[in-house]
Amino acid sequence: MPYSVRTCRFCGDFLTRALFTETNLFRGLMRLTYDRVDWLAPGIGQSQLGTKGRTMSASRSLLKKISFVTASLAMLLVSFAPSLATNAAAEWSAPRTVYFEETGQSLDQVFLDYWRANGGQTNLGLPITPEITMDNGHIVQYLQYARFEYWPEGDANGNKFVLGKIGEELRPSMLQRSMIASTQVPEGFTSVTTQMKAWLPVSADSDTAKDPNVTFVSETGHTIFGGFRDFWWATGDVNYLGNPITQEYSVGGITYQTFEYGQLRWTATDGVQMVPVGQTLATKYNLSTAASAQGDIPTYDESLFVKPGPSYGNYDPSGDAIWVDINLSWQYMTVYQGDTIIYELYISSGRAGFDTPTGTFYVLTMLPSDDMEGVIGGEYYNVPSVPDVMYFTNEGRAIHGTYWHNNFGTPMSHGCINMPEGAAAWLYSIAYIGMPVVIHY
């Protein structure tokens, strides 16, 4: 074929590269001339090409038509490239719904996004009900430790995702305030009364609030200390559990404290643990927790959300030596093992005024990370923790990973060769002191 459409395996772009040498181009056009001479110059045969006058006229006609054919081929290649690139970019996407075999339920869309971004199973538990549409149009779903809510109209801050304040729904059935305060508690009401007293706020001026060993939360009028406070702080305090809405209280040898978004329990054996409040409320409201059919929903695994990495070529540790060819005109690197191409990708070389030198160089120093600072051409630069650095000159020129831009294929540097981080790490892993680096236009 006179051309090849190649895939850059790192960035997914399609590179249209002419494979013609001058000789191949001449041979190809000559072949086209002899094979299609009747179409290119009607009435002119090979014998007629030998006559001087007609040859000149035929040659002009041939050149015009050859130019037309070449231009058409180029336009055809360009028209193919965008659609090929689009198809490549669309090959992978993370799932928007996943299924949990442990509970037979699924999470999707914003509920899934929040769950993954905020500790997943450890902090929020697994879903235990399907999504439920409420009379007010809100959509809710119960998890072991939480309730997710979707408000189509948005809350006061415009947020459509809302974490349900389920702690308040744990409040025991109301008793007369006089009964709560009384020391004469009817038999059977002891635990309820203990809980109800715990819900009463304490005064900021009370000895309880002023105790130097506790933290008083003025927003709700409750204190928190000890293991519960340590857990509250460690998990982001108000950003995870919200503020405490009860004091500590004990029932059946277990100590509890309830917060806006959940509840903690403590025992001498197990320490501090989350209470599965979502399950408690699902039972309280008689909600179905029966498993749903999975259908074609993928089973949750965090690897589903990791975009497949690039394939960095078939490097053979027992094979020939590695060397690198860099074409500054194309902003393109080709990695060879001996005479075999094992990887190709776009790079970024020095921009105007900071041109990357050409010639054959050799890797002099390799550093897994380096702070690059200096002045080149009157311009100061300071880039910390540059990864996978392979210096090939004594003037600071290097091949290295690049975390500060993604504009590969365009000159961007002060003379170094910028590579995508993943590709640079791979090259660094197989490079060696003395590795040839050939740079040219």
The pLDDT value recorded for residue 43 is 40
Give residue 26's pLDDT band: very low, low, confident or very high (50, 70, 90).
very low
Lowest mean pLDDT among 161-175, 240-254, 302-316: 302-316
What DSSP state is assigned to residue 349? -
Lowest mean pLDDT among 20-29, 85-94, 148-157, 374-383: 20-29
Written as one string, the DSSP assignment of 15-70 is EEEE---HHHHHHHHHHHHHHSHHHHSTT--TTGGGSHHHHHHHHHHHHHHHHHHH
Lowest mean pLDDT among 238-252, 332-346, 367-381: 367-381
Mean predicted confidence (pLDDT) in 133-141: 96
Lowest mean pLDDT among 190-204, 311-325, 381-395, 411-425: 190-204
The pLDDT value recorded for residue 235 is 85
The pLDDT value recorded for residue 127 is 97
Tens digit of each residue's pLDDT (9 = 90 or more) over 34-71: 333 333 334 433 333 343 344 444 444 554 454 455 44
The pLDDT value recorded for residue 33 is 37
The pLDDT value recorded for residue 196 is 85
Tens digit of each residue's pLDDT (9 = 90 or more) over 257-301: 999 999 999 999 999 999 999 999 999 999 999 999 999 999 999
Taking the alpha carbons of 199, 202, 207, 210 in that order, is the dihedral positive or negative? positive
The pLDDT value recorded for residue 310 is 61
Residues of the chain with CATH 2.40.440.10: 322-440
Mean predicted confidence (pLDDT) in 398-426: 93
Does residue 74 carry a pLDDT above 70?
A: no
Are the CB atoms for 405 and 343 separated by under 8 Å?
A: no
The pLDDT value recorded for residue 309 is 60
Give residue 23's pLDDT band: very low, low, confident or very high (50, 70, 90).
very low
Token pair listed for 161: 């995702």
Q: Helices in 142-300 by DSSP H: which ranges?
A: 177-181, 190-199, 207-210, 226-234, 277-284
Lowest mean pLDDT among 84-98, 147-161, 388-402: 84-98
- 293 vs 17, which has greater pLDDT? 293
The pLDDT value recorded for residue 47 is 37
Mean predicted confidence (pLDDT) in 385-399: 94
Q: How many CB atoms lie within 10 A of CB 51?
A: 12
Give residue 200's pLDDT band: very low, low, confident or very high (50, 70, 90).
very high
Mean predicted confidence (pLDDT) in 107-129: 93
Token pair listed for 61: 């006609």
- 24 vs 238, which has greater pLDDT? 238
Does residue 321 carry a pLDDT above 90?
A: yes
Does residue 172 carry a pLDDT above 50?
A: yes
Give residue 22's pLDDT band: very low, low, confident or very high (50, 70, 90).
very low
Distance between CA atoms of residues 166 and 147, nearest Å: 7
Distance between CA atoms of residues 33 and 29, nearest Å: 6
Supply the pTM of this predicted model: 0.53
Are the CB atoms for 358 and 440 separated by under 8 Å?
A: yes
- The residue assigned the tokens 């990791």 is 306
| CATH class of the 322-440 domain in this structure | mainly beta
The pLDDT value recorded for residue 311 is 64
The pLDDT value recorded for residue 358 is 97
Mean predicted confidence (pLDDT) in 291-318: 85
The pLDDT value recorded for residue 216 is 96
What DSSP state is assigned to residue 168? G
Task: Please state whether 187 falls in left (phi above 0), alpha (psi between -120 and 50) or beta.
Answer: beta
Mean predicted confidence (pLDDT) in 360-389: 87
Phi and psi dihedrals of 282, rounded to 5? -60, -40
The pLDDT value recorded for residue 357 is 96
